[in-house]
Amino acid sequence: MSSPLLFAIAALIWGSTFFAITLQLGEVAPAVSVVYRFGLAAATLFAWCLLRGDKLRLPWRAQRWVMLQGFFTFALSYVCTYGSEQYLVSGLVAVLFALMVFWTPICSRIAFGTPISWRTWAAGMIAIAGVTMLFYHSIAGAWQDIAGGGSGHFLLGLALALVATIASSAGTVVVAKVREQSTNLMLTMAWSMFWGTSMVALWALATGQQFVLPAAPRYWMALLYLSLFGSVIAFNAYFTLINRIGSQKAVYIGVVTPVISVLLSIQLEHYRPGPVEWLGMVVCLASVAWALRAPAPAAASPASTQPAPDACLAAIPEVP
């Protein structure tokens, strides 16, 4: 399969997953839908590994980091993402996920002491300005709603979406430690999804959420799409692409995905952004593209056999 086709597959699937999540909202609690989605995805990946003849066991040293990745990436991030889309248009949540380009270096700085370039700081400030324009009218309306005795659910959705992006970035940072313990990507993804699913399931049970089986066909179609396409096929296409063209080019999927999501929201969710919102989206995504155009790092010397933390981080985006 050609590299342009792999790029298109990953971008189109991930660009549509934000809307697909909205098809699962309503009858089933968001956390329960997360359990169904990643339970099925983990089972699929484990079956894939068995068909390849892989041993499913991971040493405890690796499991500790895989569990931490599962908590950030497939538990906290997705529970917040599903929760946020109860109050925000899915395309706006997708635009916020583009900010991972900036959250991830900050998390890497905290975890590894990795320097942050001036370009990243400058682009991050521009992106914040773009997000402010994008949400200015909605936030002002939410404050007026609260002042009038309303619930201000929009602000809750915005906060959940921001937590989701930061959690995904934290999970991305943990990948560096997971890679040190195991290079079997499919197996570590399977275990990470398993642990994340288990954590969310325990939380849902502890909070009294019901594990119902909805009758709506659209729910099950969305579940299959999100599990098999959004959580298995798209990641496989993306990692294959990284091996061919490198992460510096492959991560541009993170710029294309929000554009597709916003277009779907306009078509399917009746989202009608005004001039300020359009300008905010353009500024935010342009700043992401500028940050990603940073010069590629110099090739490692033959004596260097351990990948640098930031190299691992650039290779693993987390997209709903």
Looking at the domain assignment, is residue 12 inside a domain? yes
Looking at the domain assignment, is residue 319 inside a domain? no
Residue 273: predicted pLDDT: 86
Average pLDDT over residues 250-268: 82
State yes or no: pLDDT of 160 exceeds 80: yes
Report helix, strand or coil for 269.
coil
Average pLDDT over residues 15-34: 93
Phi-psi label, residue 270: left if phi above 0, alpha if psi -120 to 50, beta otherwise: left
Residue 306: predicted pLDDT: 39
* Mean of all residue pLDDT scores within the chain: 83
Rounded to the nearest angstrom, the gap between the alpha carbon of residue 126 and the centroid of all alpha carbons in its chain is 21
State yes or no: pLDDT of 135 exceeds 50: yes
Residue 248: predicted pLDDT: 53
| pLDDT-based confidence at residue 312 (cuts at 50, 70, 90) | very low
Would you state the torsion angle of the CA atoms of residues 86, 84, 14, 110, taken in this order, to the nearest 10 degrees? -170
Between these two residues, 201 and 303, which has the higher pLDDT value?
Answer: 201
State yes or no: pLDDT of 29 exceeds 70: yes
Residue 310: predicted pLDDT: 41
The total number of structural domains that make up the chain: 1
State yes or no: pLDDT of 305 exceeds 50: no
Looking at the domain assignment, is residue 320 inside a domain? no
Average pLDDT over residues 92-100: 85
Looking at the domain assignment, is residue 43 inside a domain? yes
Looking at the domain assignment, is residue 79 inside a domain? yes
Residue 155: DSSP 8-state: H
Q: Percent of the chain at pLDDT above 90?
A: 34
Residue 133 structural domain: 3-294+308-314
pTM above 0.75, yes or no: yes
State yes or no: pLDDT of 303 exceeds 50: no
- Whole-angstrom Cα distance, residue 97 to residue 81? 10
Average pLDDT over residues 48-66: 91
Q: Lowest-confidence range among 70-74, 81-85, 117-121?
A: 117-121
Q: How far is CA 81 from CA 73, 187, 228, 288, 305, in A?
A: 11, 24, 18, 20, 37
